[in-house]
Amino acid sequence: MLNDKKVRIAVLVSGGGTNLQALIDSQKSGVITDGEIVLVLSNKADAYSLTRAENAGIKAVAVTKAEFGTDFEKKIVETLDENNIELIVLAGFMCILSKDFTDKYKNRIINVHPSLIPSFCGEGFYGLRVHRAALEKGVKVSGATVHFVNEIPDGGEIIMQKAVEVCEGDTPETLSARILENAEWKILPASTQLVCKKILNGEI
């Protein structure tokens, strides 16, 4: 008998949500077959990613520090539990999660980072800062990494990596765009599918 169960996925975002869109598109095209995005949660009430979710018929929720203060993480956990979430995908979520949170969801949180970890990662390395640092160092190759999330920023086990060439005259913006298109939008959906399959098979 075919197993038609799908892992219930929440995508956590802070901004425009291009990685979220890549996940939604990959679900439609059949790259992600063992999971389903049932919730998009943002820490910014005006994040365009919430509109992307609504456009795709996915439940969209904002949980902001301004509204919930010290109960911010508690409210996220409540929202995840209410929606029976089995896998959390961080797709440009600009909040550091506590050890209590990451321990609760051990091997159930994955993140995409715009460099080849262990290069240009850890605390303070996010967004264009990552690409600026890579260009200042003069690297010829950069890329993206999907990894499990633990209490150390960018410190969890690596799931997938993809290298992208750095071109002459690159700016942080051009390098970011090339890495998004050629690495992040490919390995984040592929990693999501891989982890969903392992969850269904009882491997993690």
pLDDT in tens, 71-91: 999 999 999 999 999 999 999
Give the domain range for residue 160. 7-200
166 in a domain, yes or no? yes
Average pLDDT over residues 95-100: 93
The pTM is what? 0.95
Residue 4 pLDDT: 75
1 occurs within a structural domain: no
Q: Which are the contacts of 161, defined by CB distance < 8 A and separation ≥ 6?
A: 116, 117, 143, 144, 145, 146, 187
**3-class state of residue 9 by DSSP:** strand
- The active-site residue out of 52, 113, 131, 147 is 113
Could you report the per-residue pLDDT of 154-185, keeping only the tens digit for each? 999 999 999 999 999 999 999 999 999 999 99
pLDDT score at 42: 98
Q: Are 140 and 163 in contact (CB under 8 A)?
A: no
Q: Residue 57 sits in a domain of what CATH number?
A: 3.40.50.170
Which phi and psi angles does 144 have, rounded to 5°? -145, 155
Residue 147 is a catalytic residue: no
Cα separation, 161 vs 173, whole angstroms: 20
Domain annotation covers residue 2:
no
- Here the tokens at position 96 are 């550091």
For the chain, what is the domain count? 1
Task: Give the Cβ contact number of residue 55 at 10 Å.
Answer: 11
